[in-house]
């Protein structure tokens, strides 16, 4: 089993920060499905002559359309954890971005822990080395024995499946922070059939 994790929205609570923070898991039941999905994206890049990284915030709408149309054939499931940040009252979480991000990842993973067995977890490699070490230790401690085989932090520029996670999580999060845009739900709707679980923090 392969699990990819990425986030959308900032983890901070300062004035001007995003109103919501979304963390998502892209779950492949086996590595064959993961490899096939990676090949779909790589073939798309060749077909449209797109040498850059697929990153939702920097993609034009036609590129987004092409990407989400292509991955309809891919076999994976999506789990999401959505936090409306005004509902967070614990001062420790509000004062420490990395602690808040770790907390959200833990909540997301624990919500689906009963599905996981010897999973390889790949996380977008933002953050300091101290954050990565602390995050891996925190997740291992919080998850049931045998759920996680390995945790890796990956560079989205070179990891095509982390790019997949970025595109999906950002597409789902878009309506929260851009609700008035006419295309707010456009790409979320294209992945709706693959969304298995959404947990809203309460």
Q: What is the pLDDT of residues 61-81, one digit of tens each?
A: 999 999 999 999 999 999 999
- Average pLDDT estimate for 179-191: 93
Query: Residue 97 — pLDDT band, cuts 50, 70, 90?
Result: confident
Rounded Cα–Cα distance for residues 91 and 49 (Å): 48
- Average pLDDT estimate for 5-32: 91
Q: How far is CA 36 from CA 74, 92, 124, 156, 165, in A?
A: 7, 42, 20, 18, 15
Give me the domain span that covers residue 83: 2-200
Contacts of 159 (CB under 8 A, 6+ apart): 122
- The count of C-alpha atoms lying within 13 angstroms of the C-alpha of 179, restricted to the half-sphere facing its C-beta, is 4
pLDDT at 131: 73
- Average pLDDT estimate for 166-180: 92
pLDDT at 11: 86
Place of tokens 């090949």: 39
Residue-wise pLDDT for 110-147, tens only, equals 877 777 888 899 998 776 777 788 778 878 887 878 88
Query: Residue 27 — pLDDT band, cuts 50, 70, 90?
Result: very high
pLDDT at 15: 82
| CATH number for the domain harbouring residue 76 | 3.30.420.10
Highest-confidence segment of 6-10, 91-95, 124-128, 170-174: 170-174
pLDDT at 77: 96
Rounded Cα–Cα distance for residues 166 and 52 (Å): 14
144 secondary structure, DSSP code: P
pLDDT at 105: 87
- φ and ψ at 137, to 5 degrees? -65, -40
Q: Are 122 and 161 in contact (CB under 8 A)?
A: yes
Rg (CA), the chain: 16
pLDDT at 198: 94
Q: What is the pairing mode between strands 77-84 and 20-28? A: antiparallel
Rounded Cα–Cα distance for residues 84 and 200 (Å): 8
Structure-model confidence comparison of residues 106 and 49, the more confident one: 49
pLDDT at 9: 87
Contacts of 85 (CB under 8 A, 6+ apart): 13, 17, 18, 19, 20, 21
Number of domains in the chain: 1
Q: Is 147 helix (H, G, I), strand (E, B) or coil?
A: coil
pLDDT at 127: 67
Cα-based torsion angle of the residue sequence 42, 48, 52, 54 in order, rounded to the nearest 10 degrees: -60
Q: Which residues of 68-79 are buried (b: 16+ CB within 10 A; e: fewer)?
A: bebbeebebbbb
Whether pLDDT at 194 is above 90: yes
pLDDT at 135: 79
């Amino acid at each position: 089993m392969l699990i990819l994790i990425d986030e959308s929205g900032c983890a901070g609570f300062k004035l001007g920060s995003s109103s919501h923070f979304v963390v998502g898991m892209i779950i492949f039941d086996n590595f064959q499905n993961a490899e096939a999905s990676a090949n779909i994206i790589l073939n798309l890049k060749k077909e449209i002559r797109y040498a850059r990284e697929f990153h939702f915030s920097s993609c034009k709408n036609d590129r987004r359309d092409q990407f989400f149309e292509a991955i309809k054939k891919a076999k994976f499931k999506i789990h999401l954890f959505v936090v409306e940040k005004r509902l967070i009252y614990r001062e420790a979480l509000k004062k420490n971005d990395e602690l808040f991000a770790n907390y959200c990842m833990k909540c997301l993973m624990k919500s689906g822990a009963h599905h996981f067995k010897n999973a390889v977890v790949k996380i977008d490699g933002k953050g300091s080395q101290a954050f990565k070490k602390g995050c891996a230790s925190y997740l291992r401690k919080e998850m049931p024995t045998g759920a996680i085989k390995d945790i890796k932090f990956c560079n989205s520029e070179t990891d095509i499946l982390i790019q997949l996670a970025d595109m999906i999580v950002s597409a789902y999060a878009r309506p929260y922070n851009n609700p008035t845009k006419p295309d707010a739900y456009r790409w979320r709707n294209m992945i709706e059939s693959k969304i298995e679980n959404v947990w809203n923090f309460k």
